[in-house]
Structure 1
Amino acid sequence: MKIETLVNLIDGELLNRPFISEVVNFTKDIDKVSRGSCFFAEDESLIPFAIKNGAYAIIVSKDTKILDKEIAWIKVDDFKKAIFKIFKYENLKHKIYLADKITLKLIKAMNLDKKVVILENEEDFLKAINLTNKFLLMDNKKKNIFPNKEELKSISIELEMINLFKSRYKKEEINLPFVYKNSFSKAINFFESNNLKYTLEFEIDRFKPVFVDSFLREVEYGSSDRVLITGIQNDEIFFDELNYLIENTKHAKTIVVDKNREELLTHRFNFAMIVGFDVKLNEKEEKGLFDD
């Protein structure tokens, strides 16, 4: 990208008259700076290292001593806004795939392909800027940001429920609560229709079982009849998860616990859905020398 284009794009202030005229990549990670890089200097102490590694432009957020007059020094008000503007310019015509939060969690956990980027923060935007061959995904709640977008579609798949937390796909046991079947089919369709590499050995941090004993100490998976279901938020997916839990635990003691009802965990239960907070588990007592 030409320096003149870059400065105008990010509403920056060019602090000098550089000899170089363009940059070839963008990064805020000092370890990724190479010849021709544009370096976002959030930590000014790293600027000398960026110059030594070949940076052609340094972007700062305040007046800074110019250490090398041949490269470009650009001042901006906000790093995040600048990065997003560069991303949007570079990807204006590039397709953005949109998906719900569970599908994105699954794709992130299953992905083995460097071409896949889930856009969640400025590091992801920078990664996408520097890739030529790429598949970009974003939360479908942000669908109005980009003109060229496509919602991920589900397909018909054969998925068998094994238990509350596991399913079977293509004869392989996977860590997938059956309630997420539709999102899983979208993820499979995304990977397979685009010939992207993925794995079925994955876990997500939602509807995740933690087996505990009567003292609320974590024990080995499957070794207790008390289970905390973690990673749950009171959002648009919650009632699907709650109905799934109730439907499949009719003969068990099932409770729903938020921060204001945490005392319920001191009572008898089989399944406890933890909503909106992290439970602090008790630690196991270490056995003494003569204990069994």
Structure 2
Amino acid sequence: MRLQNLLSLTGAEMMSDPAVTLVDAIVLDVQKVRRGDLFIAFDAADIPKAVANGAYAVLYEEACTVTDPEIAWLKVESVEYTLLRLLRFRMLEKSLHVYSCDDVTLAVASQMLKDPRCYVWQGTLRTHFYDLWDLREGSWVFVPERKRCEDLFVQVLPLPKTGNVPVDIAEQTLFETSFVLDDVYYERMQLSPFFLPYLGHLYQFAKSQGLTFIVGGMQGSTHFVPVFVGDDLRVKTFGQGGKVLIFEPDLSLLLREVDFIRSEAKWAKIIYLMPKGSAMAPDDHDTFLLYETQEDIMQLLKTVPFHFALIGGQDKRLLETMHIKTETPTLF
């Protein structure tokens, strides 16, 4: 990229009189900076290493000393906003199809939309910068409803309500389903019935657009994640153990999941662990339990009887920090 074009795109103030006129790659990780690159400095402490690695330009917002006047020092008001402007210019060139989805549909899309033309964005600009920058021409991009993506993409459309393909359930538990979808039988999928309406909607859309969709489980999802445990809370294999911990980091999904569990497991003792100060308005104070710390969660799980425990505001990594062990299966 020509340095003059970079100045026009970013609105940056040139703080040196550089000898260079071109930069190669745009790099956010100082460890990956090579000779000729433009380094985007989120942390001014990384700038000396970027210069030592051969950066031809440094873009920054915090005050810093120009140590090498031969390279371009580009001062901006906001590095984050500048990154957005660079990406928006890049997106203009790509004729993208961008659709916003609710978080559950997005989770299904990340697992089952296997078309190389499709990209599911669930992170931040910074963590997904390279993926977005390298999107192929005419890609289909799926983004969260809650993101302000209009500042990045030319047009963001809601995922159209094309109608759900009927999902005929043959057999189900709370976390496993056998069903027929579009005349194909899927037996004992590790897929909760909770996801099926979202799956049917997305499948119909993918089919209408000729996109590759492969029905599978939700092993890589962070939503409504079941972990089977014994009475001692040791983790067991799927389907084993008398108790299930269900993790949901997104508090906005909790009420839907509470309703689902209550309707599908009327026989069970269910508890709901919610962080103090959450916006939940429980109607059953005996089963909605509040926690402040991870130690509170462990204490509640040890002392309150349950078959299912829905833990809001946490993901499966909690097990590692709580040092809950996985039980090793044996032959005897």
Q: Structure 1 residue 49: deviation in Å?
A: 5.4
Q: Give TM-score scaled by structure 2 length.
A: 0.70
Deviations 1:200-220 (A, max 9, x none): 354212211122222333233
Q: Which stretch of structure 1 is more off in the superposition, 151-160 or 95-104?
A: 151-160
After TM superposition, the structure 1 = structure 2 runs for residues 102-117 of structure 1, keeping only pairs within 5 Å, are 102-110=104-112, 112=114, 113=116, 116-117=119-120
Gaps of 5+ in 1: none
2:73: which partner in 1?
73
Shift of 1:267: 2.9
Contact 1:66 1:73 in 2 (8 A): no
Contact 1:229 1:272 in 2 (8 A): yes
1:125 pairs with one of 112, 122, 129: 129
Is the CA contact (8 Å cut-off) linking 2:203 and 2:213 kept in structure 1?
Answer: no
Q: Does 1:164 align with 2:186?
A: no
Give the whole-Å Cα distance in 2 for the aligned partners of 1:152 and 1:200. 21
**Post-superposition offset of 1:111:** 5.3
Deviations 1:18-50 (A, max 9, x none): 344444542213565567642213422431454
Q: Which stretches in structure 2 are left out of the alignment for 5+ residues? A: 276-289, 292-296
Indicate the larger mover: 240-249 or 154-163. 154-163
- SS class of match (2:127): helix
Q: Which runs of structure 2 are paired with 1:191-230 in the superposition (5 Å)?
A: 193=209, 195-196=211-212, 200=216, 202-203=218-219, 204-230=221-247
User: Which shifted more, 237-246 or 143-152?
Assistant: 143-152
SS at 1:6 equivalent = helix
Q: How many residues in Structure 1 have an aligned counterpart in Structure 2? A: 283
Give distance in 1, aligned partners of 2:144 and 2:238: 32
Judged with a 3 Å threshold, the aligned counterparts in structure 2 of structure 1 residues 132 and 283 are, in CA distance, closer, same or farther, namely closer
Inter-partner Cα distance in structure 2 for 1:28 and 1:189: 38
| 1:98 Cα offset (Å) | 0.9
List per-residue Cα deviations over 1:70-119 (Å, max 9, x = no partner). x4331223321211111123224644221111122222334553862516
Q: What is the alpha-carbon distance in structure 2 between the residues aligned to residue 48 and residue 240 of structure 1?
A: 51
Distance in 1 (alpha carbons) for counterparts of 2:72 and 2:177:
55
> Contact 1:25–1:130 at 8 Å: present in 2 too?
no
> Alpha-carbon deviation of 1:276?
2.6
Distance change >3 Å, CA 33–CA 228, structure 1 → 2? same
Distance change in 2, residues 1:148/1:60 (3 Å):
same
Q: Is the CA contact 2:191–2:216 (under 8 Å) kept in the aligned structure 1?
A: no
Distance (Å, rounded) in 1 between the aligned partners of 2:157 and 2:206: 15
Give the letter aligned to residue 144 of structure 2.
Answer: D
| In 1: Cα distance, 2:203 partner to 2:74 partner | 43
Residue type of the partner of 2:309? A
Listed as ranges, the matches of 1:14-33 within 5 Å are 14-23=14-23, 25-30=25-30, 33=33
**1:9 counterpart SS class:** helix
Bigger mean CA deviation after superposition, 177-186 or 109-118: 109-118
Amino acid at match of 1:47: A
Matches within 5 A, 1:78-97: 78-92=78-92, 94-97=96-99
Tell me if the contact between 2:3 and 2:22 (Cα under 8 Å) persists in the aligned partners: yes
Q: The residue matched to 2:39 in structure 1 has which SS?
A: strand
When the two chains are superposed, the root-mean-square deviation of aligned CA atoms in Å is: 3.5
Is the Cα contact below 8 Å between 1:167 and 1:178 reproduced in 2? yes
CA shift, 1:131, in A, is: 3.2
Task: List per-residue Cα deviations over 1:109-141 (Å, max 9, x = no partner).
Answer: 345538625163123134312434333332112
How far apart, CA to CA, are the structure 1 residues paired with 2:33 and 2:326? Answer: 49
Is it true that 1:46 corresponds to 2:49 in the alignment?
yes
Alignment-derived partner of residue 267 in structure 1: 304
SS, match of residue 238 in structure 2: coil
CA distance in 2, matches of 1:188, 1:226: 32
2:286 corresponds in structure 1 to none
Aligned 8 A contact 1:9 1:86 in 2:
yes
TM-score (norm 1): 0.78
- 1:150 is aligned to 2:151: no
Question: Structure 2 matches for 1:229-240, cutoff 5 A?
Answer: 229-231=246-248, 233-235=250-252, 237-240=253-256
Q: Is 1:255 matched up with 2:257? A: no
Deviation at 1:183, TM superposition (A): 2.4
For 1:50 and 1:285, locate their aligned partners in 2 and report how far apart those are by CA, in whole Å.
Answer: 44
